[in-house]
Structure 1
Amino acid sequence: MDESWTFADDGERSSADAVRARLLARIDQGRLEIWLRSSAGRSLAFVTNTERAMVMLLAGDGDPGEHAADPGADGWSDGFLLANGQDDEYPDEDTVPLTAAFRIVAHILAEGSPPPDAPWSVDR
């Protein structure tokens, strides 16, 4: 069975080809924390400040997961507004530029894993 992905907030199914436009639409609505769920029980979190994004892949409930990384990036970025109103700040090395985040999410939806050339940090 192929893994399929839906947006957790409304159950809308997304393909790798459509995910960038659907993420951008949510960002334009001010929704900066976005979750996708897979038919295999995995979760994909996308939290952005509109310039950088934290992209996390979790194997299931309670999994500390893994996330996209930008090794050597210096500094911190804030403005990662969560759905509960919390405004987070992350080291830039734990987030990626927005364009890279879109590419990573699309690859995960298409292939089930991050692109081989995308630095990745395992938090387990």
Structure 2
Amino acid sequence: MIESWVINDGSSVPVSSGTVMEALRSRIGSGQFETWLASSSGRSLAFVTNTERAMVMLLEDERDPGDHAVTPEVEGSSGGFVLSGGQHDEYPDEDTVPIGEAFRIVEHIVGTGSWPADARWVVDR
């Protein structure tokens, strides 16, 4: 069975690798900086951005700490990551990726079910 993904906001309309970036950009444009996608196999994909960098996490199930995309060669931290409940977070830049890279990673995961071969991520298990 091919895995399908939906934005976890009550919608049942699947997103594809060709439409997920447009959906994320639309949500960011309307002030929604946190997006969770749910897969038909029970996995979750999180995307949280401050419009310059993004935290991208892939979780196998609700209890899984998952994996997240990284940029290990950078220093510093960035704020402005606004969660859906209004919480404002700051993350080390090494635990986030530039937004263009985040879009590429999400698009690839939605299309193939796995991290891009050239992406860098850490396992949080």
Q: Normalized against structure 2, the TM-score is what?
A: 0.97
- 2:88 counterpart letter in structure 1: D
* CA-CA distance at 1:10 after TM superposition: 3.1
SS in 1 for 2:64: coil
Structure 1 stretches of 4+ moved >2 Å: none
Residue of structure 2 in register with 1:38 after alignment: 39
Give the whole-Å Cα distance in 2 for the aligned partners of 1:47 and 1:10.
18
Quote how far apart the aligned CAs of 1:72 are: 1.0
- Deviation by residue 1:23-72 (Cα, 9 ceiling, x = unmatched): 00000000000000000000000000000000000000111010000011
User: Partner residue of 1:5?
Assistant: 5
Provide the rounded CA distance (Å) in 2 between the counterparts of 1:64 and 1:75. 23
1:42-61 superposed matches below 5 A: 42-61=43-62
**Partners of 2:74 and 2:63 in 1: CA distance:** 28
Q: Which amino acid aligns with 1:86?
A: Q
What is the CA–CA distance in structure 2 between the aligned matches of 1:28 and 1:114, rounded to whole Å?
Answer: 26
Residues 53-98 of structure 1: CA deviation (Å, up to 9, x unaligned): 0000000011101000001111000000001110000000000000
Aligned-pair Cα RMSD in Å: 0.6
Inter-partner Cα distance in structure 1 for 2:34 and 2:111: 21
Identical amino acids, percent of aligned pairs: 59
Structure 2 residue identity aligned to 1:4 = S
What is the TM-score normalised by the length of structure 1?
0.98
Aligned residues, how many?
Answer: 124
Q: Which residue of 1 aligns with 2:104?
A: 103
Q: Which residue identity is paired with 2:2?
A: D
Gaps of 5+ in 2: none
Distance 2:6 2:111 in 1: 13
Unmatched runs of 5 consecutive residues or more in structure 1: none
**CA separation in 1, counterparts of 2:68 and 2:58?**
6
Which letter maps to 2:83? L
